[in-house]
Every structure is written in C-alpha cells, then in structure tokens.
Amino acid sequence: MSKVLAIAVHPDDETLGCGGALLRHKQNGDEIHWLIATDLKQSEGFEQEKINARSQEINLVASLYKFDSISQLNLSTMRVDEYSMSELIEKISRVINEVKPNIVYLPFKGDIHSDHRTIFNAAYSCTKSFRYPFIKKIYMIEALSETEFSLSTQGDNFVPNVFVDITGFMDTKLQIMRVYSSELGQHPFPRSERNLKALATLRGATAGCEYAESFMLLKEIL
C-alpha cells in the first residue's frame, strides 16, 4: 500500500490533473490525501454565499474520492506569491510530515498562474530525500487552463513521460468535476467537459488506451 498526497493549489486542480489516478490509487488500496493550498475569504471581496458554496463543494468532492485526510493551508487565492517562501515551506512541510506520503503530485512548475508556480517551488523544497526519506516518487500534473498556457520555449513546456490509464475512471472524474459547477464552462473554455475528454483521449492515444492522464516524473527512488 502506498500513501499518496495530491497538492491542489486551488480546489479542482486535483481533479483536473490527477483525478483519475487518485481514483485508481484508491481502488488499488492506497491511501489518498488532499492538500488544498488556497481559500476564499470575505475580507478579499468574496461573498459569503460563494465561500459557503466552495466549502460544500470541497466536502462533496472529498466524499466522492473517499480521501483519507484533507489539509487546508487557507492561503489567499491569487495572492500566494505575496507570502514569504519560508512561511509556505513551513506550512507545506508540516502537512507532508504528518501524512508521510510515498507519492506526491505537484502542480507543473511552468503553469501560467503565479499561485501554481509559487506552490510548486515551496512544495518541491519539501521533497529533499535527507529530510523526507519516505517520499519515493514525485510527479507534476497537467491542469487544464494553466499548463497548456505555459511558455512555449525550451524548458518551459509540459513534456509528459508517465501515462496512467483512467478509462475505467473517466466517468467518475467528470462527475466529480461537475461538482465545481462555477469552474466549468462550454467549449472553447479550457475547463469544459469536452476539453477534459479531448485531453484524456489524446493522452490515451499516446498510451494505447481509451483515456489517460499524463504526468512528468521528477524523481523516483527504488
């Protein structure tokens, strides 16, 4: 049995990037844990109704995945780069040391959203083998509306080298994504059901299956 930690900068990143893989982990008997970095706050202009709706979404999504734990850092959304790196590392390190995951899913380092890039840098600092020897595998995920808009220059592109067959989990992934109703839109909006299936179809064609999710493997210790 493995312990898996998915680090979602915003709620829905876990479903967009590795929802099928998480469902597969759960079916295989692995523990799955969810770290949510950001939160909505009334002091920053979000209405209480929206905050309550987001809380309900998180609770429903957690029950659908059957997460073994949920950790929330409650950082200000769209303002993560205003926190000091040492503060972010301390918050993420605390969760990682509590969960002690073998497998970690991180945002892609080149995502267009500054929140994603900042959390990647802080979280990757919490994977050093001499401080966190239990971490054996680290992946970067592909999140629609963020990863595909990264710079198209050498070293900045998402180049997948791991593919996970999620054919048996695609319908559930879409069902969970529908919980985030305010985050979905109609094609050509990037976070549409049509686009989710299109990306999974493309990655599946590379992997030789109906639907797949793709990842960049950063480290594996055998």
- The neighbour count for residue 43, using CB atoms within 10 Å, is 6
In this prediction, residue 129 has a pLDDT band, given cuts at 50, 70 and 90, of: very high
Average pLDDT in the chain: 96
Condensed to tens digits (0 to 9), the pLDDT of residues 46-103 reads 889 998 999 999 999 999 999 999 999 999 988 999 999 999 999 999 999 999 999 9
pLDDT higher than threshold 90 for residue 22: yes
Which of 46-55, 100-109, 174-183 has the lowest average pLDDT? Answer: 46-55
pLDDT higher than threshold 80 for residue 45: no
CATH number, span 3-159+215-220: 3.40.50.10320
Q: What percent of the chain is modeled with pLDDT above 90?
A: 90
Give the per-residue pLDDT at 46. Answer: 84
In this prediction, residue 142 has a pLDDT band, given cuts at 50, 70 and 90, of: very high
pLDDT higher than threshold 90 for residue 153: no
